[in-house]
Amino acid sequence: MRVLVVEDDPELSRAVVSGLQTVGFAVDAAGRIADADLKAAVNTYDCLVVDRGLPDGDGLDLVRRLRAAGARTPVLMLTAMDAVPDRLAGFDGGADDYLVKPFVFEELAARVRALCRRAEQPRPPVSVVGDVEIDTARRRVRRAGVLLTLTVKEFAVLELLTARAGRVVPRADLIECCWDEMAEPMSNVVDAVIAQLRRKLGPPALIRTVRGVGFVIGADEAAGTP
């Protein structure tokens, strides 16, 4: 899941970005509305976290423009403007949630995760592919009943592959959903994580490569290589 944090306070922005990355999100950051406009135009996000008091205007104006353009990306307003009229204006302007500063990071992460789930197609809390169980709520993976230890990035990639089990997931989709804008599309980061996943999942191979396209999980009939 990929998130855009729009916050002009460098220290707070770094803390929020780092915290969300730690719990499994791919995160981009913008310090101005103009930067956020550009990033939202060229990237697909599962959630936006937007401050209101930005150097070039009210972050709520950004949300209003996105909604007017038809964007349905969930938005969490993260701001010190805590009066009831401010909160009402946020919801009326198109925000889906409103969290007042100062805040507890665990609550922020829970709200962002809930907004991302709201935007997704409904799926069971535990997905099964072959003898692999992926518990998305607890972020646990078992194969043949054995608990596996995965990194945040490995879990994110496995979760996306599992959500599309039986279909080829293009390399570009993995980069878009599981990495932030600092990832180089032509680098081998995806191959490295896939290799780590295959090693940890063990035999028989569950993830297959479709040359020139991407990767598929749980479909033996798909043309590809281990």
Identify the pLDDT of residue 93: 92
Backbone angles phi, psi at 30, to 5 degrees: -140, 140
Identify the pLDDT of residue 221: 41
Nearest to 101 by CA among 132, 80, 77: 80
Strands 53-54 and 57-58: antiparallel
User: Are both 105 and 163 inside the same structural domain?
Assistant: no
Q: How far is CA 32 from CA 9, 87, 141, 225, in A?
A: 10, 21, 39, 45
Return the SS3 of 78.
Answer: strand
Is the pLDDT assigned to residue 63 strictly greater than 90? yes
CATH number at residue 35: 3.40.50.2300
Identify the pLDDT of residue 16: 95
Positive or negative: CA dihedral 185, 207, 4, 16: negative
Q: What is the pTM of this model?
A: 0.62
Chain mean pLDDT for the chain: 86
The count of structural domains within the chain is 2
Domain final position from 90, 119, 148: 119
Identify the pLDDT of residue 121: 55
Q: How many CA atoms lie within 13 A of 225 on its CB side?
A: 5
Q: Which residues pair with 28 in a beta bridge?
A: 4
Identify the pLDDT of residue 224: 47
Question: How confident is residue 182, by pLDDT bands cut at 50, 70 and 90?
Answer: low
User: Are both 110 and 162 inside the same structural domain?
Assistant: no
Is the pLDDT assigned to residue 51 strictly greater than 80? yes
User: Are both 17 and 113 inside the same structural domain?
Assistant: yes
Q: What is the extent of the structural domain holding 27? A: 2-119
**Per residue in 31-43, pLDDT tens?**
999 999 988 887 8
